[in-house]
Structure 1
């Protein structure tokens, strides 16, 4: 039986971290397990080990940690590194060295954080554990205070200011995987963690804010921290299309902002910025749930905080709301005002083009109805030209680009175009406001140009 312990034994089932640390776990060793492994290998025809793939994997991990600034720092021993670190707990089981200070308050004990880390044994260059090898290499989102990570890591994360910080943690076995480790991979030795903290979501900030005295609630640092937390949660709700929950968060943040008493111009500007973001985001959310009158109300409220005529996104959603209400003239007015602020914004250009097509279609439908009412013969219908689909799509995109310009433009057509192609372009120009096909006589030759007259924006 003693031979069974000559080499490390692989567990057939994973271990729950909480059970392992509590000391209540029991293990049973199957003495035939090693023999079964050998039998399986022989059945698969595997004879020799090949380390080339492993070498490539290790090289890739080393390169990735370097690129993500998670490489192990240079030091002689952990003892020499400890001399530069500070204790996070009185026992000295968790020590920290800050490489890049964060730009906010201490991370709350119940926050949600987004991190990358790489863990190293002493004087190792390849991490034995890293978030870079999990979750498709994406940062890991962790809810603190729920025992989901090592105690030492949690202590370190709540001893740093965030977000956007980078630091080292030297964690002793007692606050990592325990005094016995998890052999063979996890040794009962100190581990060095290189950690990059990207974001902090203080999910309970609003609850803590409500428990504060009124005098504390009005302080700038408390209001801004609470509002930023509410906005972060609102973004998550928006991404999940939970727009009503998103609206609730923005409404709550506006209540908090109204309680704030800024002390200087910088604080006033920050409160103003947060108010603007809140009103605009509420307008977007109300648009998503088809409440155009609420969108208009948010835009009107925004106009008390800032000059809405200088805010492209607000003007755009003003237009969206009026379009939903069927007030196309008002919609076009606000779309054009937004377009003037951002001439190259394709979403605004598309909204104007869609309205233009809608108006033309509506006019044609109305005309058809009156013709039928008075039994009039319709005017000549648009001719079907023998032009391939690729040519039609290309020319339509070109006309759209010319039509989107707010200034005079002229585009000369190649002389190689056939009469069918010229006829198609002439009819196509009629679909765009201010676009005409001009015929030019150059000697005996005829050339054609697409011309866009400059628009007067109201």
Structure 2
């Protein structure tokens, strides 16, 4: 049995009308007839002294627009039209006899494959994804629409809220069927899941939107995911973090590295830099036990330093770009990417001599790399332009000093005119 309130709170969707305090419970018993419940509020407080003195009192009530409270207004009407799913209302044709009748969800299930052995969760791939299947315990970002049978309107939708939903797999943060289903997906994949009541909202359902024993259909897009090790590690106490094994620290750093890459691809460079630096700090401060651990540490640090160099180069932070590229070269002194980024950093700072030196070292290791050749060409042009500008400036300064006092006076007079 699933706790309706817990499930739907985490899905950011339905408010379930449960009693939350003794006061609420007592007040609900005061009105046996629903029609006798107070439904309107006063615009202005009554003066009780006037009532006690039998002078009477005038008052006005707030009348709510009944249409505004209708459930159909839960989502914007125009947006709702774009998220209707008529497969949920696809009924049998007139020629189909009663014996062979199939409901809309039964028709859908014929096109699906079982995710669980008891067929409690069925899946149909709508759009294929890329890369490996999402890892266990991963932190996922999804968009979804969820439907009931015989209703083309979603009872819950992240798309209509324009807000993707994020959660950790295998942590009971969502209904079991959605957790199990997303765990079979790849990045970018879109899939439909038919989820039986025991994997959804159980015998009780979640009134008023989800009836008892309801089978539900979710259409899900897996936008992205990152390994859950980093999120889990952040929840540990300082003492637990100190006692963590190297294997766990390495897993956390790989997770941070992957998250940083995802942020970089989305052009969220500062967030990417933060993730990379968290991983670097953990690796640099961990006490290594043997050469094998040092080898793994250095390999991952190399990738992180290079990524930090690139991310800082992208946001025009030349000094930090050079700093992290240099850290890479301390691990591997002939790394072409690190040498190239050193050249780019010094070029950005206007240090043409050092820039040219690092570009030449990179070109010597990779003589056919067109990107290096192109950057050297740009550097030569930039240096030539700078030298020409410097010469022009010196000429003007020299001509000013060569003027006689009378010429200078004439020049000043002309400028005043």
Contact (CA 8 Å) 1:164, 1:196: kept in 2 or not?
yes
Specify whether residues 35 and 371 from structure 1 end up closer, same or farther in structure 2 by C-alpha distance, changes over 3 A only.
Answer: closer
Report the alpha carbon displacement of residue 113 of structure 1 after superposing the two structures with TM.
1.4
Pair 1:143 & 2:167 matched: yes
Q: Distance in 2 between matches of 1:113 and 1:224?
A: 17
Distance 1:329 1:150, change over 3 A: same
Match of 1:365 in 2: 393
Q: Which has the higher relative contact order, 1 or 2, with Cα contacts under 8 A spaced 6 or more apart?
A: 2
Of residues 161, 173, 198, the one that matches 1:134 is 161
> Gapped runs of 5+ residues in structure 1?
1-14, 42-52, 263-267, 377-458
Once the two structures are superposed, what CA deviation does each residue of 1:150-170 show, in whole Å capped at 9, x if it has no partner?
434663367446545545141
Query: Which of 20, 26, 29 is 1:24 aligned to?
Result: 20
Is contact 1:322–1:328 with CA below 8 Å preserved after alignment?
yes
Can you list the C-alpha shifts for 1:262-290, whole angstroms capped at 9, x where unaligned?
Answer: 9xxxxx9xx97x66642321223555273
Q: Does 1:329 align with 2:353?
A: yes
Contact kept, 8 Å, 1:203 with 1:233, in 2: the verdict is no
Q: Distance in 2 between matches of 1:76 and 1:331?
A: 71
Shift of 1:228: 4.2
Alpha-carbon separation, structure 1, partners of 2:67 and 2:217: 39
Determine the C-alpha separation between the residues in 1 that align with 2:172 and 2:382. 51
How many residues align? The count is 317
- Whether the 8 Å CA contact 1:21–1:177 is kept in 2: the answer is no
* CA distance in 2: counterparts of 1:59 and 1:105, whole angstroms: 31
User: For the structure 1 residues 117 and 367, does the alpha-carbon distance in structure 2 shift closer, same or farther, using more than 3 Å as the test?
Assistant: same
Give the CA deviation at 1:115. 1.0
Deviation at 1:213, TM superposition (A): 4.6
Distance 1:23 1:232 in 2: 41
Please tell me whether the aligned partners of residues 276 and 308 of structure 2 are also in contact (alpha carbons under 8 angstroms): yes
Unaligned runs of 5+ in 2: 1-10, 29-33, 42-61, 70-75, 91-101, 405-417
**Residue from 197, 203, 206 that aligns with 2:222:** 197
Q: Offset at 1:232?
A: 1.0
Following TM superposition, by how much is the alpha carbon of 1:37 offset from its aligned partner in structure 2, in angstroms? Answer: 3.0
How far apart, CA to CA, are the structure 2 residues paired with 1:332 and 1:197? 45
1:279 maps to what in 2?
305
* TM-score between both structures, scaled by the size of structure 2: 0.53
Match status 1:97 vs 2:119 = no
Alpha-carbon separation, structure 1, partners of 2:269 and 2:202: 36
Cα–Cα, structure 1 residues 350 and 229, in superposed 2: closer, same or farther, change >3 Å?
same
Question: Is the contact made by 1:231 and 1:253 (CA closer than 8 Å) also made in structure 2?
Answer: no
1:144-293 to structure 2, matched below 5 A, reads 144=168, 150-152=174-176, 155-156=179-180, 159-160=183-184, 162-165=186-189, 166=191, 168-172=193-197, 175-176=200-201, 179=204, 181-183=206-208, 185-188=209-212, 189-205=214-230, 207=233, 213-214=245-246, 216=247, 223=250, 226-233=253-260, 236=263, 239=268, 241=270, 245-252=274-281, 277-285=303-311, 287=313, 288=317, 290-291=319-320, 293=322
Equivalent residue number for residue 113 of structure 1:
140
Q: 2:306, 2:328 within 8 Å by CA — same for their partners in 1? A: yes
Cα distance in 1 between the residues matched to 2:371 and 2:257: 33
Match of 2:149 in 1: 122
- TM-score if structure 1 supplies the norm length? 0.49
CA contact (8 A) 2:139 2:168 kept: yes
1:297-325 CA distances to partner (integer Å, 9 max, x unpaired)? Answer: 13524754x651xx4xx455222332366
1:153 to 1:174, Cα distance in 2 relative to 1, 3 A: closer
- 1:300 is aligned to 329
Alignment deviations for residues 100-146 of structure 1 (CA, whole Å, 9 cap, x no partner): 687145431xx4311122212225555443333231xx7x1413389
User: What residue is the counterpart of 1:419 in the other structure?
Assistant: none
